[in-house]
Structure 1
């Protein structure tokens, strides 16, 4: 019941209840004085009736007014007191104090709105703590990944300074290693910088109509040329008659599929590596599946592989390298396109990375 209705009923009750009470008192007192105790209705009995009636009327007014006022004020003051206490606890940083209400009045709605705010603040605080933890893990990870190649570079430079590389062949090998290591560091820094800009939404997207079939046909041809050197294969599976037109940033889309391929290539443990790209078209979206025949991902890791800064245990192996940001960048770029991305994997059988984009005509 709303507070307005409660107040109206209370005011009506303050009128009706005393009237009913007066009538009852009048009947009961008259019956007792004139019938039970045989009082004189014209003399002292009447005076006594008037006195008792006045006292009863005063008591009825006091009790009725007191009870109704107490009930109404309690129904308003109690939730306000709880809200005040909750606000104080939140101001002190305590987000565990719950004040949910099942009442249907204005204060009940206010209480539930306040409770919803508390829950959102708690979720935001949890997310902030998780973000801070992830940030610290990223700093530690990046520091480690940068320190390792820097140590290597310093070692080779020191070898050149100490004339350990005393032949042209050895000197050339040292210089090639230094260049490759520095190039890996540059790629790591570039990936971190891109992720930071995406996180701050400072990366411009040049949206245009892209035919995904033509896009992947060119990409697969280029990738197949590189993989064929190692006797590996890449296959495009799609129905040529279906339309695959989407609105996308061509360069960002290329970065997405490149990151997925690079991530797949890191963990392919088969002698013959294979990547399949499958396109499927529905009435309003195009779904892309990029499947590899690698080692697969553990079930408990699958929900987290696109999380910011997340790296599975295997990806921390120094032989694979990487900052753990590749698939996070994929997720951010796909979401900027209005799509979403997910993974399906089974250990020993490979991984499929899916993403879908809205189709246009």
Structure 2
């Protein structure tokens, strides 16, 4: 029955005795094992999508079977090959995609390592250099803008630390020089006091006039020592933040006039003279500490007496008001200060006279600047017919 597409077989006891021996026919034989004996008639039925014609043969106790097993669907068959190709292509494309992703991941990982780890390592190395005391070498990084800013901030911090360290070293050296200088300056009046008192005790000053001269010289030396010690005391209070300020409202011009009158009573006109100019009759009052302002004047007077280079020292003081400030100008009509040193005269321990030809601590004008800051004012200096200091106090509402 091959022309009609049927396969035939003889089946008995669930076995294919003869004929088609395919797996499908064996499945059909197993099916008949479970069936009752046939009735000798021709039976037609379907089994697993197959058309089956069956006739039981009693003489042989067997079944003659003709079955049309449908071949695989031609469409499926025709599609199978392209699908396999498609599936293979998908697998290849997937493998290529995975490889590309792995390559991209490796690339971006290396780039991320370079972008992130490089500046981090530079920062760690920079921190180690600072820890080892090397603050001259800076981080040189060119890359991502964010990390450039971080590295630049690190360099700025390093420069600030270095500048502060140099300033501390400078201040420490200046402080040591100040203590050494004041110790040297104290030795001279102390020796003078000891010498003149011993002269009185030993009877060298054998007349009343000579005794008075010796004692006056010793007294003047004690005053000189007191000035130096007062400088140290003022500086110590400033450094420790223990210098008190008690503000009251007062007329600066009137206060200055009283100070000048007191100084003129004690001063020798051959050494110093004073003059006061007031810009207007009714000066506005300002908040000031009536104990600290005389300290400013004393320091300015001492500075003028030491460095003006003239005798007598002509101190000219002017007090006037602007729209926002009350100004006091102090001019000693002396030799002035070298222009290159003007920006530094208000620094701690700074001395224009580095050779120490004149006694001094280097803190006088520093104290002046500090007191003015506590008055919320400022101080300026210039050479204008002498050394001119300008004190600027804010007006009060």
The one of 109, 123, 129 equivalent to 2:163 is 123
Tell me whether 1:155 sits opposite 2:195 in the alignment: yes
Secondary structure at the counterpart of residue 74 of structure 1: helix
Tell me whether 1:61 sits opposite 2:97 in the alignment: no
- Specify every segment of 5 or more residues in structure 2 that has no aligned partner in the other structure, as ranges: 1-80
The one of 220, 223, 227 equivalent to 1:180 is 220
For 2:373, the equivalent position in structure 1 comes to 335
Tell me whether 1:144 sits opposite 2:184 in the alignment: yes
Secondary structure at the counterpart of residue 339 of structure 2: coil
How far apart are 1:68 and its partner, in Å?
1.5
For 1:201, the equivalent position in structure 2 comes to 241
Structure 1 residues 152 and 235, CA, compared in 2 at 3 Å: closer, same or farther? closer
**What is the alpha-carbon distance in structure 2 between the residues aligned to residue 152 and residue 137 of structure 1?**
23
Structure 1 residues 269 and 79, CA, compared in 2 at 3 Å: closer, same or farther? closer
How far apart are 1:194 and its partner, in Å?
1.2
**What is the alpha-carbon distance in structure 1 between the residues aligned to residue 252 and residue 325 of structure 2?**
11
How far apart are 1:105 and its partner, in Å?
5.6
**What is the alpha-carbon distance in structure 2 between the residues aligned to residue 255 and residue 104 of structure 1?**
56
- Specify every segment of 5 or more residues in structure 1 that has no aligned partner in the other structure, as ranges: 1-40
For 2:392, the equivalent position in structure 1 comes to 356
Structure 1 residues 116 and 355, CA, compared in 2 at 3 Å: closer, same or farther? same
Larger radius of gyration: 2
For 2:42, the equivalent position in structure 1 comes to none
Figure out how many residues of one structure are paired with residues of the other and give that number: 317
**What is the alpha-carbon distance in structure 2 between the residues aligned to residue 240 and residue 280 of structure 1?**
7
Alpha carbons 1:100, 1:115 under 8 Å: kept: no
Secondary structure at the counterpart of residue 300 of structure 1: helix
**What is the alpha-carbon distance in structure 2 between the residues aligned to residue 163 and residue 76 of structure 1?**
87
Residue by residue, what CA displacement relative to the aligned partner does 1:111-164 show, whole Å, maximum 9, x if unpaired? 343333222212221111111111111111011101122222233344345433
TM-score (normalizing by structure 1):
0.77
Greater shift, 204-213 or 217-226, is seen at: 217-226
Alpha carbons 2:251, 2:284 under 8 Å: kept: yes
Instruction: Identify which of structures 1 and 2 has the higher relative contact order when contacts are C-alpha pairs closer than 8 Å and 6+ apart.
Output: 1
Write 1 or 2 for the structure with the bigger share of helix: 1
Structure 1 residues 316 and 163, CA, compared in 2 at 3 Å: closer, same or farther? same
Q: CA RMSD in A?
A: 3.0
How far apart are 1:342 and its partner, in Å?
2.1
For 1:217, the equivalent position in structure 2 comes to 257
Write 1 or 2 for the structure with the bigger share of strand: 2
For 1:247, the equivalent position in structure 2 comes to 287
How far apart are 1:54 and its partner, in Å?
5.1
The one of 175, 181, 188 equivalent to 1:135 is 175
For 1:321, the equivalent position in structure 2 comes to 359
Structure 1 residues 315 and 93, CA, compared in 2 at 3 Å: closer, same or farther? closer
Secondary structure at the counterpart of residue 330 of structure 2: strand
Structure 1 residues 88 and 180, CA, compared in 2 at 3 Å: closer, same or farther? same
